Amino acid sequence: MKSKFARILLATVVTFAFSAFAQTGSAATPNTAAALPAAPSSAAATTTPVPNTGTKVGAINIEGAIFNCNEGRRDMEALQKKFEPKQSELKSQNDELDALKKQMNTQGEKLNDDAKASLQKSIESKQKLFDRAVQDAQEDFGNQQQEVAGRILQKMAPVIVKYAQENGFGMVIDTSKPWPQSPILMAGEGVDITKPVIDLYNTQSGVPAPSTSGAGAAKPATPRAPASTTPKPTTPKPSEPKQ
């Protein structure tokens, strides 16, 4: 559900970014009818055409361009740094849970009923708190990541349109998601404009490449809840009657 919401949010940002640039380009052309009030249209934001005479079809990985440009890498590294204390906190909670589960597995049969029930209750309580903390951290990180993406895309959209117009592209498709998650079945490297758009945006933004080396922006992964389930109390088998 979270990733679906993120895709919808990013798609919405893309729509408004490109349509806003298209409207700005149209407004720059004087027209005698410009003084007349235009009829309101709910579809105006998505149907305003971008002036272009190109005939080629290009492809761009929008997410890749955002998170691999210098600004995106810089901001994602800063976001990762910001979440390091939370990751350390979650790791400590996870380690504590693992220790309690190990205790249950190794000493469970030796404990009396009260001690065993108390340990089981402690595990379940801490597991719930940990799962909730992980979910909150993931949502918080995802929201801030989307803020980074939206802010950069607002500035990158005009660069994409400008590059397309200057290089004869009449259509540019987004290949951020593979088929069947998106309607794009395939797009060859020959039509991909992601790299030149990134280079153009880096030049325009003036943001230097991050000092740390690496292939693109590393999206920090918040720790997940352990895959192992909470151990269930074992019931000792009754001893066999003596002959």
Q: Residue 76's domain is classified under what CATH number?
A: 3.30.910.20
pLDDT tens per residue across span 161-193: 999 999 999 999 999 988 888 888 888 888 999
Mean pLDDT for 69-75 is 97
| 98 backbone dihedrals φ, ψ, rounded to 5° | -60, -40
Would you say residue 240 lies in a domain? Answer: no
Contacts of 146 (CB under 8 A, 6+ apart): 6, 9, 10
Contact of 85 with 201, CB cutoff 8 Å: no
Give the burial class of 54: count Cβ atoms within 10 A of its Cβ; 0-12 exposed, 13-18 middle, 19 or more buried. Answer: middle
% of the chain exceeding 70 in pLDDT: 65
Helices 2-27 and 113-166, packing angle to 10 deg: 20
Poorest-pLDDT segment among 81-85, 109-113, 148-152, 196-200: 109-113
Would you say residue 156 lies in a domain? Answer: yes
pLDDT value at residue 233: 42
pLDDT band for position 237 (cuts 50, 70, 90): very low
Token pair of 62, please?
A: 């929008």
Q: Which residue matches tokens 């579809």?
A: 43
Would you say residue 82 lies in a domain? Answer: yes
Q: Which residue matches tokens 């349509």?
A: 19
Contact of 59 with 172, CB cutoff 8 Å: yes
Q: Which residue has the higher pLDDT, 7 or 157?
A: 157
pTM of the full predicted structure?
0.66
Mean pLDDT for 29-54 is 43
Please check the confidence at residue 80 and state whether its pLDDT lies above 80. Answer: yes
Q: Which amino acid is at 65?
A: A
- Mean pLDDT, rounded, of the chain: 76
Q: Which residue has the higher pLDDT, 190 or 219?
A: 190
Would you say residue 33 lies in a domain? Answer: no
pLDDT value at residue 1: 44
Distance CA 54, CA 51 (A): 9
Would you say residue 67 lies in a domain? Answer: yes
Would you say residue 96 lies in a domain? Answer: yes
pLDDT tens per residue across span 42-67: 333 444 455 556 789 999 999 999 99
Mean pLDDT for 96-105 is 94
pLDDT value at residue 182: 82
Q: Which amino acid is at 123?
A: I
Would you say residue 115 lies in a domain? Answer: yes
Range of the domain at 174: 2-24+52-205
User: Helix, strand, or coil here: 77?
Assistant: helix
Q: Which residue matches tokens 């404009």?
A: 193
pLDDT value at residue 37: 36
Contact of 124 with 230, CB cutoff 8 Å: yes
Distance CA 225, CA 133 (A): 9
Distance CA 142, CA 14 (A): 17
Distance CA 14, CA 181 (A): 17
Would you say residue 43 lies in a domain? Answer: no
Please check the confidence at residue 2 and state whether its pLDDT lies above 60. Answer: no
pLDDT value at residue 170: 92
Q: Which residue matches tokens 């920090």?
A: 220
Work out how many domains the chain is built from and give that number: 1
233-243 core/surface letters (b: 16 or more CB in 10 A; e: else):
eeeeeeeeeee
Mean pLDDT for 86-105 is 95
Distance CA 197, CA 60 (A): 9
Mean pLDDT for 91-107 is 94
